[in-house]
Amino acid sequence: METSVRKGGTVVGSGQTADIFIVGGGPAGLAAAIAARKKGFQVTVADGAAPPIEKPCGEGMMPETLAVLNVLGAKFAPDEGFGFRGVSFIQQGATVSADFAHGRGLGLRRPALHEGLWRAAENCGVRILWKTPVRRIEGETVQLSNGTIRARWIVGADGHGSRIRLWSGLDSAVGHQRRYANRRHYQVRPWSNRMEVYWGSTAQGYVTPIASDGVCVVTMGNTPQAAAFHNALDDLPALRERLAGARLGSRERGAVSAMLSLQRVQRGNVVLLGDASGGVDAITGEGLRMAFQQALALADALVTGDLRHYQRAHRKIARRPMLMGNLMLWLSRHSRIRERAIRAMQQHPDLFAHMLATHMGEATPMELLFTGTQLGLRLLDASEKG
């Protein structure tokens, strides 16, 4: 006879089953649940927290990210956040901007994004166990704080410090770069309809308009000290001037941003997704898009019953963001070259437009090679004149 235990408002039976069990109820886990449920699987999600789940991030979604959300059935109206039309790079004495070739981005508070995905998951029949930590996994058995569930497939979507990654022996990384970030919200009218990246000698600032009276600001650096707001704003005087006198709209929250590449994201019946499966530096703004595309790829692989298809798709999804992430981190470490590059792109805006198109996946390899060659020539010319 099946027994049940009630804890935190959730009932879990000791003999229950699911086709797919997802550990982690953040945006990545919920996207995976929606995608799998749309393929007809019975899906259960568990998370030790209660919704909506907050997480420090830049809160800006590119057009490509919104397109994947639309496929998942999680739609957000423009008035739920703030639409932005492109990206700007800003450093002392130079600014370069470009608009998206197709569509607009959306600045949206993280709790609103999470709630939209949570509601979409519930509406399509996903079972969600909030306030239900996962204690361990063994074979097809998931041990919860209040019972057990058997599942054919187990998905780890439990973030950078994934316990599923550790328990399943998938913790072997081929590359790992860590940086630090802090986030604040300011109650101020957005001064730009683009997402802005401010560059300093030791820090970067990432500004996303999220409402008609608010912006999200993230400061990033290689050390906690460089990323601290008081130090970062001293290093970014143009941003400090923009925020002068603005009221804080939330408490400051810190996070770790990691460029992490794993040797494998699948073993047996266990698979990793989102930050648990690796990631790119937050300055790229690509984390959510990657997670949502991974969710669709995982659902397709589950239909075939062969997770090796997902392994291959995961590598392909990560290739372009990793390339752009390494480029952005390289620029952050070589200030003199970055300053020349931004000035060169300011004089030739088409170069930055091509770079943004590459970032958005709208440029071919030949176009990327052409842009790199042209930028290199401009840098060489600037160097000779200097």
Spell out the CATH class of 7-73+108-175+258-325: alpha beta
Reduce the DSSP state of residue 284 to 3 states and report it: helix
Q: What is the pLDDT of residue 371?
A: 57
Walk along the chain (386 residues) in steps of 10 and give the mean pLDDT of each run: 32 75 97 98 96 88 93 87 95 91 93 94 96 95 93 96 94 80 96 96 95 96 95 97 95 87 94 93 85 98 96 92 82 86 86 80 59 53 50
Q: What is the pLDDT of residue 366?
A: 55
Q: What is the pLDDT of residue 322?
A: 85
CB 74 within 8 A of CB 47: no
Task: Give dist(CA 266, CA 336) in Å, integer.
Answer: 41
**Whole-prediction pTM:** 0.89
CB 350 within 8 A of CB 94: no
Residue 327: both structure tokens together? 């480029």
Task: Give dist(CA 63, CA 71) in Å, integer.
Answer: 13
CB 216 within 8 A of CB 243: no
Q: What is the pLDDT of residue 257?
A: 84
- Give the residue ranges of DSSP H helices in the chain: 27-38, 63-72, 110-123, 163-167, 224-227, 229-235, 237-243, 287-304, 308-333, 335-347, 349-359, 365-385
